[in-house]
Chain A
Amino acid sequence: MKIDLTETTSSKINQALVSARRAVGAPAIGMVLTLVIVTDEENAYDALKAASDSSREHPSRIIAVIKRLSRSPRTRRDARLDAEIRVGSDSGSGETVVLRLHGELANHAQSVVLPLLLPDAPVVVWWPQDSPADPAKDALGALAQRRITDTYSAEHPLEELAMRAQTYQPGDTDLAWTRITPWRSMLAAALDQQPAEVVSATVEGESDNPSCELLAMWLADRLGVPVERTTSGGPGLTAVRMTTKNGDIVLDRADGSLATLCMVGQPDRAVALKRRETAELLAEELRRLDPDNIYESTVKFGVEHLDRKDADAPAKKAADPTPPAKKAAPAKKAAAK
């Protein structure tokens, strides 16, 4: 069921939500959190779709805040709130409110959102793109326990990453970090199996993908060894090599879905490491709402402390020592771009 409200207020939206719930015959609400999505018209559809998919795992009230930019001084004076309410089958398993903020109101989004938050339930704010420089100090971000940014969508991911480290507050997290959970868990499992001391490591992936930097910083931070970041044509992350005294542990994913794990003294094994949809990333993000200390430690490690070997010397890649167990890796070819 959909209700359109034009030139409305938060309290009218609240009334409409109650009557919409009555109308679909589900007065009880079992929603566990409020998810606020701050976006623009261009990205709203994809973001809402991902959020409503992830609401199957976390039934939530989804509030999309769409700021309508004003082009002329006259329209800027004309502050207006339009809302679209979706309940029942039109909105995953929760309820969705799409807010369109016109004119001056776009600068006071928190005044609209505050009355619409679920009582006593955690608030999560997600900026699919254009995240504020300091999420915790942002007017909407300040309402939330959890603030989700996505450096991958930024114009200059690495600068953005450095800024995340500067402004980090407990509760901040980034989808570029979420994307590497399967890699991290597989690498940790590999070290479980072969508890050897790692002396150095290499992370290889797309040049503009901050997930590679995060993974490299995580390894460097945890292992306390130099970690080199090299580039390839992707998709996404393509390989991680941990050099131990006994030999290399290599996790190689050339095609973005099936990876190979090579370890000394053990057969090569296939490992499913599919790149995940935004809805899955969001669902993982919403599973825990406490501060992610490992992310904090990783992002604060500092991109500048990584060994970067890309733009200036991509040709050197061919000189990389090839581990004995490694077959002709298609990733290497792709890396030539």
Chain B
Amino acid sequence: MSGVPGANPLRDAQDRRLPRIAGPSGLVIFGVTGDLSRKKLMPAVYDLANRGLLPPGFSLIGFARRDWEDEDFAQVVHDAVKEHSRTPFREEVWQQLSQGMRFVQGNFDDDVAFETLRATIEELDKAQGTGGNFAFYLSVPPKFFPKVVQQLKKHGLADQKDGSWRRAVIEKPFGHDLKSAQELNQLVHDVFPPNEVFRIDHYLGKETVQNILALRFANTMWEPIWNRSYVDHVQITMAEDIGIGGRAGYYDGIGAARDVIQNHLLQLLALTAMEEPGSFHPKALVAEKLKVLTAVELPEDLGKHTVRGQYTHAWQGGEEALGYLEEDGIDPKSKTDTFAAIKLTINNRRWAGVPFYLRTGKRLGRRVTEIAVVFKRAPYLPFESGATEELGGNALVIRVQPDEGVTVRFGSKVPGTSMEVRDVTMDFAYGESFTESSPEAYERLILDVLLGDANLFPRHQEVELSWNILDPIEEYWDKHGKPAQYPAGTWGPAEADEMLARDGRSWRRP
């Protein structure tokens, strides 16, 4: 009843049934006709509305070159939602959403279009009560980035007026090296204050990735062994079974390391290796991530401890796959990496001497992302020789996708009269214990943007530190040799296996 003056009397920290509903707000999507927008963003907005997490009057503005009316846009969203949304389609939810849908037609250098956008936002503030709070989602190719941001500034769309907010949501790539990343950050921060810029790394929105924090900091059984005394090494893998598809223009010259290691894999490394944050306040979390990223050290001999590769023409999973150099729009002499594996160490008390192996690639055996913490072998085995021949190191594997879950591998006696120990696995599958409840990553991230919760978004310092780690490797690759070749559908070039063999280890088959 009483309580803090000004606090909402209907809210109570103990009332955990009440969800976090975003305040009055709207979302503007640039590049709304794109694939990401149709397959992920629009369905995510609908799913949020369906779960009752969007404020009444939530508005969605599409901005694109297409010559559409509001109704055409609503129809496109309708179709996208019906096809891709996670939760069932409900007419009344759709009615609520469709009232706030607008479309603005124009090019990114078209001043009239941005004036129309501003008028539309003002109109929505009146008609829908969005209160001037808008997030601008830039789902556009990186080259249009500066233009859109400058236009937003020029037309006063990024002004944070009294009590309301304007936020920018940007997608990777955040530059292609440290310098370009800094330029980009400067450009965006010139228009939006740093705490109103949300960088989407959709991996961080995944339940399994958030679960790394729960697994590590909510339990007691892992922490005592989560260090160099027990951990032999860590392998972080993100494999895709598809090729570059239609992304030749973007991919060539960028490559796997810049595309994946710089953001996703280094973020996974930071979450796996960081110390316990004092709280889950974004500042506390980012401080720990920065500490661990600063402590990352590259191997001295980059030639021996990094590998890059390119897939070649082969049969993959029953289909004939083109080699990278044969793909449409790729320079036959291209040195772009479609596979990258690197070894990193972390210079702190917890991790000194424990290598972190990161690998990613296209056209690998199957689509999988996982973090494997491989433990040291028992220092002494009291069994007869031969009994433990089949026993590997214990391992804790966090399966990020697909089939999200956690696997623990340990030795167990094979039933029978002789003593023989073999690896078995104990499995926790999200799909088994929490079926269907996992929201899509974009749902969580869009809601967090509207709520202003920056915990699951990499900050600009993290982006810059990640480039700091990757840049020397890219420079080395530029000057030395060329990518190793691997047949499409395999687990990468032989050189990658040799890289681990040199350390007396081997890659897991994920």
Contact = CB atoms under 8 A, between A and B. Distances in A.
B385 interface: no
Given A56-B435, A186-B56, A258-B95, A294 B12 contact: yes
Interface string A281-305: 0001000100011100000000000
Bin the interface of chain B by size. 35 or more
B437 A57 contact: yes
Contacts of A293: 14
Interface string A242-275: 0000000000000001100101001101111110
Interface in B49-93: 49-50, 52, 55-57, 90-93
Nearest to A294: B15
Contacts of A270: 56, 95-96, 99
A294 B12 CA distance: 8
B23 interface: yes
Contacts of A222: 1, 9-10, 12
Contact of B14 (A181, A274, A294): A294
A59 B99 CA distance: 37
A284 B185 CA distance: 42
B24 A30 contact: no
Contacts of B295: none
Given A223-B1, A272-B93, A184 B6 contact: no
Contacts of B92: 257-258, 272-274
A261 B56 contact: yes
Nearest to B98: A270
Given A57-B435, A270-B95, A272-B95, A188 B8 contact: yes
A184 B10 contact: yes
B56 A271 contact: yes
Interface in B88-113: 90-93, 95-96, 99
A189 interface: yes
Contact of B429 (A30, A190, A198, A269): A30
A176 to B, nearest CB: 13
A192 B47 CA distance: 22
B475 interface: no
Interface in B1-26: 1-2, 6, 8-12, 14-19, 21, 23-24
Contacts of B129: 193, 263, 266-267, 269
A240 to B, nearest CB: 11
B383 interface: no
A184 B1 CA distance: 15
A221 B1 contact: yes
A5 interface: no
Contact of A188 (B2, B11, B433, B437): B11
Contacts of A269: 56-57, 96, 99, 128-129
A272 B89 CA distance: 12
B303 to A, nearest CB: 45
B126 interface: yes
A53 B15 CA distance: 25
B432 interface: yes
A190 B55 CA distance: 9
Given A191-B11, A223-B10, 20 more contacts: A57-B435, A57-B436, A182-B52, A186-B52, A189-B23, A189-B56, A190-B56, A193-B55, A193-B131, A222-B1, A261-B56, A263-B129, A266-B57, A267-B126, A269-B129, A271-B56, A272-B50, A274-B93, A294-B14, A294-B15
Which are the 9 A-B pairs with shortest beta-carbon distances? A30-B432, A224-B1, A188-B10, A269-B57, A258-B92, A272-B93, A269-B56, A266-B129, A257-B92
5 contacts: A184-B18, A189-B21, A224-B2, A274-B90, A294-B17
